Amino acid sequence: MPRVLQDNEKCTWKEVAAVNTLAPGFDLDDGATLASADRSGLLRHAALSGAQARAVNTAVAEGLLDRLPGSRPRALVIVARRAVPVAASHLILDAAAAELSFPAVVVDHAPTWIGPLDVVIVMGDDPGDPEMVAAVDRAVRRGCGVVVATPSEGPMRAAGAPHAIAMPPRVPVPEIFATCGYAAVLLAVLRHIGPTEPIESIALDAIADVLDDEALRGHPERELLSNPAKSLASKLLGHRVVFAGDSTGDQVLARHAASAMLRVAGMVSAAASLAEVVEVFDQLAGPAAESDVDPIFHDPEIDGPIGADPVKVMIVSRGTPRQGTRSRAALLGSAADYLFANPEEPSGPPHPGMDAPARSLGQVLADTLQLCVRMDMAASYARLARSH
């Protein structure tokens, strides 16, 4: 068992490796063990986000959206009923909201007011969902421009043919890993119907490159110290985790992170705004577990309860955390940690009164989806560590 370090004492590389052993006989730096333990292909599926975005870009280049009206619609209606396509829609719309010249809504059914001037996107992984099929049928009958991003089979194919534009996933993955695929479909449609220059200049192939680079950094053969996905997983294991965002878009990312940890890693975590976490942190922290107690030798009937796992607050930010965010995070002490897109960016506080420079819409979108890939891969590593 690794010894407990004293104040101001540095650990050796050997001790770092010992701490990295998250389960008996399981080391996140052991690529061969990870590969053999990942029988469900979690890491492979999580690494296909770039391929999903690139497949959508290829479909657009083939002219798949040519039948969709290219002028500004009266409204964009996104029909999605499951957590992943809903999260993907909100992530993209929040980032692009300032550039849209038409209203966009995310709903779980086709509204009664849709008509020929509207564009409707139906997204999901169940082509037999009656509500989704009914949404496609109503949108087609009302003369809307309709894009169907579901598997093209069964009732969905019958409801959409021949008027709806079918964009089934060309890189099939479990739905929890399809966030970037759904986001790419929405971005492709926005680029087709959005007349503003920032939206038209969105390059899906460039975003796909960013996602591929993130997947490469999270490769099982890369060591924990240079692997952001493994590093994130190691921070979360053994903690009660709260993902917190300071802006609306960051809070959507936080909810997606909590959902990924639940559905992939089997870990219960929460998502909230950073202000909410700061407000209730005293009650949230509670009695922490003693760091020098080995649960193998602990008998709760004799020794009493160990105490709750310590709290880890992961502050999600699509860019370098701003000064206001850092000030609120400082109130959480050592329980706070940051999760932002570029792992090479400095984590220390910026100069007083200075915030990060403004970024283009394409950069914001790339950073947003890059974090989705990291969260998916970290959840996969946590699953492998917990189930070994």
Are β-strands 269-273 and 311-317 bridged in parallel, bridged antiparallel, or unpaired? unpaired
**pLDDT of 329 above 50:** yes
> Does the pLDDT of residue 186 top 50, yes or no?
yes
pLDDT given at position 368: 95
Task: Give yes or no for residue 3 having a pLDDT over 50.
Answer: no
pTM: 0.85
Q: Quote the CA–CA distance of 382 and 379 in Å, as a whole number.
A: 5
Q: What is the token pair recorded at 192? A: 């087709």
Residue 122: closest CA among 96, 94, 91, 157:
157
Q: Convert the pLDDT of each residue in 245-282 to its tens digit.
A: 999 989 999 999 999 999 999 999 999 999 999 999 98
CA 331 – CA 310 distance, rounded (Å):
16
Question: How far is the C-alpha of 317 from the C-alpha of 323, rounded, in Å?
Answer: 12
Measured in whole angstroms, the distance separating CA 156 from the mean position of its chain's CA atoms is: 27
**pLDDT for 103-138, tens place per residue?**
999 999 999 999 999 999 999 999 999 999 999 999
pLDDT tens readout for residues 33-76: 888 888 999 999 999 999 999 999 999 999 999 999 878 899 99
> At 296, is the pLDDT very low, low, confident or very high (cuts 50, 70, 90)?
low
Closest CA to 312 of 231, 243, 382: 243
**What pLDDT sits at residue 222?**
92
Q: Which of 264, 212, 222 is nearest to 28 (CA)?
A: 222
- What is the architecture, at CATH level 2, of domain 13-36+222-387? 3-Layer(aba) Sandwich (3.40)
Burial class (CB in 10 A: 0-12, 13-18, 19+), 189: buried
Instruction: State residue 13's pLDDT score.
Output: 40
- Report d(CA 146, CA 163) in Å as an integer: 8
Is 60 exceeded by the pLDDT of residue 353? no
Residue 10: what pLDDT? Answer: 47
pLDDT digits (tens, 9 = 90+) for 215-253: 999 999 999 999 999 999 999 998 999 999 999 989 999
235/243 Cα distance (integer angstroms): 12
Two tokens, residue 45: 């599926």
Domains 13-36+222-387 and 46-210 alike in fold: yes
Q: How far apart are CA 250 and CA 138, in angstroms?
A: 34
Q: Indicate the fold that domain 46-210 takes in CATH.
A: Rossmann fold (3.40.50)
Q: Does residue 290 surpass a pLDDT of 80?
A: no
Where are the domains positioned within the chain? 13-36+222-387, 46-210
What integer best gives the mean pLDDT of the chain? 85
Taking the C-alpha atoms of residue 377 and residue 388, their distance in angstroms, rounded to an integer, is: 17
Task: Provide mean pLDDT across the span 13-25.
Answer: 42
C-alpha distance across the termini of the chain, in Å: 18
Give me the pLDDT at residue 295, please: 60
CA distance 59 to 386: 39
Among residues 267, 272, 229, the alpha carbon closest in space to that of 254 is found at: 272
In the predicted model, what is the mean pLDDT of residues 170-182? 96
Asked which of 20-34, 294-308, 342-356 is least confident by mean pLDDT, the reply is 342-356
Residue 66's pLDDT is what?
A: 92
Mean pLDDT of 191-213: 91
Percent with pLDDT over 70 in the chain: 83
Tokens of 151: 């598997």
